[in-house]
Structure 1
Amino acid sequence: MLVEFRVKNFRSIRDDLCLSMVASKDKEKATTNTVETGISAIPTLLRSAVVYGPNASGKSALVSAMQFAQAVVATSATLKPDQPLNYAPFKLDPITVTQPSEFEFTFIQDKVRYQYGFALLPDRIAEEWLYVYKAPKPQTWFERKGLAESVHTYTFGSSLVGQRKVWQVATRSNALFLSTAVQLNSDSLRPIYDWITSHLSIFAAGTQPMFDFSTNRAATDDGKKMLVEFLNAADIGISDLSTRVQKQHVFNVEISENGPLHTVSEREVRVPLFMHRSAKASAIFQMEEESTGTQRLFAFAAPIIDALKVGRAVVVDELDGSLHSHITRFLVQLFHLPTRDGSAAQLIFTTHDTSLLDANIFRRDQIWFMEKGQDQVSTIVPLSEFSPRKNEALERGYLSGRYGALPMIEDIEDFDDLVQKD
């Protein structure tokens, strides 16, 4: 499970910013909204967190930072030696524009806490570190500093076993040591790499999972049953689900000396079919005949079911896109269902849907507010910092400006000239 994510000097985030999933000592909704870790230093974690804020406040930058850091872990070992890294610092400060961007994941897996992070510049990994908490005192597995493009120093702890020098020599300046070592079959570092790349499902604004995941699940008896139950629970009018294989034409264009060459190929694809019933008839609908909201819910169905089963963390920018407030509430409450084995999936999302600011859904430590100051720097604070009363109307308090993170709209009368005829 994710304990916290830290980022610094990335896009609109200039200073150290931390999104923490550590639960406060408040016992409210403890059995549904939190999960015990078995670790004394961090006894409970939150099952979900929601981030509010106006447009351009930095919410998307936060999600993008997580997605970017995950991508660097997954792909850096495959970069060409001279290939630059996608460096995106805070540009409105002459100091930070030349400093490294920093990212750090802290997570728990098999009751062990891992703290892994790195900092990068366009030409190199500037720093990289891994601390492992198998006891209250952390073990330093490795620390790395990139003093220049071709000068990197390493410090290894005795707990990191394997061919450390081989991995060090093989690690290029623009690649992570973690990624390179795993590519060279490091068994000890594999769990850290796998958690970051496989146990985090991150979706930026305007994106969603491919339909293929849910479609392929619908082709199996067990998968179909779970998907139908999921869609029925969301009350979108789908009574049954099936799939079929159909041929699809693919148009290809190749550029040659004689100009573009157009070819057509054919492939087989599996597509979903949705059954709807009324009092008078029933009919099968194809994907393009369904609403945008239904398509989005179907796309997320299998990934969410899978996350709930195996305990993944799902991060979604603008989860409520094309979804009714009650559907979004339904998705959140799925992550609050207690599990038999004590494990838990997590949902972290941004939204503008203020109807979810409800003490019946979230604890105060699950709600975060993000805003951008006059210096154009994004900051984030939890609702708990405002010490709201337990019976406080959170939606009303937010919309009235009590917690900040609202757009500063100018008086509409100032724009009277825009609607006047010449």
Structure 2
Amino acid sequence: MLVEFRVRNFRSIRDDLCLSMTASKDKEKRDANTVETGITSLPTLVRSAVIYGPNASGKSALIMAMQFAQIAVRTSASLMPGQPLNQAPFKLDAKTSAQPSEFEFTFLLQGIRYQYGFALLPDGIHEEWLLVYKASKPQVWFERKFDKKTEADVYHFGSSFVGTRKVWQQATRRNALFLSTAIQLNSESLRPVYDWIVERLVVFGAGSQPPFEQSTSWASSAVEKPALLAFLGAADVGIFDVSVHKRKQHMLRFEVSDGEPRHAVSEAEVNFPVFLHKGPGGEAAFQMEEESAGTQRLFAFAAPLIEALNAARVIVVDELDSSLHSYIVRFLVELFHRPAGSSTAAQLIFTTHDTSLLDANIFRRDQVWFMEKNREHASVLVPLTDFSPRKHEALERGYLQGRYGALPLTSDFVPGEKPLGT
């Protein structure tokens, strides 16, 4: 389970920004919306978090930061030597534009808390660290810092970190993460950290959704199809059955031969879902393109969401409500708000503009966050709890009245009038 994610100096985020999933001592919806960890120093985590804010406030930047850090962990060891890193610092400050971008995940796995992070510039990794809490006091497994004077990385390894550490260190290039390199060289001790970031964390940025292939594959599986149909039935989209048909699809491939660009067309069979609908006058099969954008999106998310719930993954979605009715989004959130007998659970983190979800019947006060920009145009993330709302306060009305900030400040527009400053 995610405990917190920190980021600094990335896109519209200048200063240290932290999204925390740590629950407050509030007993409201404790059984449904939180999970007990069994750890004294970190007793309870929330199962979901929702982030509100105007357009261009930085909500997407936060989600992109998670995705950027995840991709760096997955791919950095495969970069070519000397290949610059694709840093995206805060550009509206001359100081920060030349400083490293920082990312840090803190998460729980099998009762152990891990705190892993790194800082980078285009010329390489400038810091990397891993702390492991098997007790209240952290064990420093490794620390790495770039020394500008010697132009070399300086490593410190803790006694609790086992394996061929020097071999992994020597194999780690300036533009690669030590974690990624050690995994390529079969580090078993670091495998849980890598797998959590790469496999258990699932991030969908703005305008994206899962490919249809997984849900389509489930539709042809006798084991997984019942869960898929139950999910679609519960969401009330009118689908009674899903079958899988093969279609021939032409693939256009470009390549360079003898210095000349060429293209080739190939044909392949691709699986496509077909949806059965029933009405008073009969039944009919619908192709994917005949379904609404919302139904297509819901079908794409079906298998990944069910799998996340079963495997205790963390799902992060920018603009979850895109093409989905408020009640469907509420239905998806409530799938994560269910008591579980273990100390781990799936989590859902998402951004939205749907203020109808700002409802004390859905979320605890420690699950709601607001993103806005300060006077320096840097993104700031503020929890609802900072405003000390009353227990039964009308959260949606309070937000729309400006009580919590994070609203767009529009002004009068006169067609034909010149912009200010011209």
State the TM-score, normalized to the length of structure 2: 0.96
Could you tell me which residue of structure 1 aligns to residue 204 of structure 2? 203
SS in structure 2 opposite 1:402?
coil
1:230-245 to 2 correspondences below 5 Å:
230-245=231-246
Q: Deviations over 1:254-278 (max 9, x none)?
A: 3445854342211121111100000
Could you tell me which residue of structure 2 aligns to residue 390 of structure 1? 391
1:12-411 to 2 correspondences below 5 Å:
12-148=12-148, 150-256=151-257, 260-411=261-412
SS in structure 1 opposite 2:223?
helix
* 1:330 Cα deviation from its structure 2 partner: 0.4
SS in structure 2 opposite 1:86?
coil
SS in structure 2 opposite 1:321?
coil
**RMSD over aligned Cα atoms:** 1.4
1:143/1:262 Cα in 2 relative to 1: closer, same or farther (>3 Å)? closer
Q: Deviations over 1:220-276 (max 9, x none)?
A: 012111111101111111111111223222122334458543422111211111000
Distance in 1, matches of 2:245 and 2:365, equals: 46
SS in structure 2 opposite 1:216?
helix
In structure 1, stretches of 5+ residues that fail to align are: none
* 1:332 Cα deviation from its structure 2 partner: 0.3
* 1:216 Cα deviation from its structure 2 partner: 0.7
Aligned pairs, how many? 417
Q: Deviations over 1:97-150 (max 9, x none)?
A: 111000000000000000000000111100000000000000000000012494
Distance in 2, matches of 1:382 and 1:371, equals: 11
State the TM-score, normalized to the length of structure 1: 0.96
CA contact (8 A) 1:150 1:173 kept: no
Distance in 2, matches of 1:174 and 1:147, equals: 14
Distance in 2, matches of 1:160 and 1:44, equals: 28
Distance in 2, matches of 1:146 and 1:305, equals: 43
Could you tell me which residue of structure 1 aligns to residue 6 of structure 2? 6
Identity of aligned residues (%): 67
Q: Deviations over 1:379-399 (max 9, x none)?
A: 011101101111111101000
Distance in 1, matches of 2:416 and 2:45, equals: 51
Distance in 1, matches of 2:342 and 2:259, equals: 64
Distance in 2, matches of 1:337 and 1:364, equals: 17
SS in structure 2 opposite 1:264?
strand
The one-letter code of the counterpart of 1:402 is R
CA contact (8 A) 1:142 1:155 kept: yes
SS in structure 2 opposite 1:39?
coil
Distance in 1, matches of 2:156 and 2:417, equals: 65
Q: Which moved more, 1:382-391 or 1:146-155?
A: 146-155
1:258/1:369 Cα in 2 relative to 1: closer, same or farther (>3 Å)? closer
Distance in 1, matches of 2:257 and 2:311, equals: 48
* 1:328 Cα deviation from its structure 2 partner: 0.5
The one-letter code of the counterpart of 2:52 is Y
CA contact (8 A) 2:38 2:343 kept: no
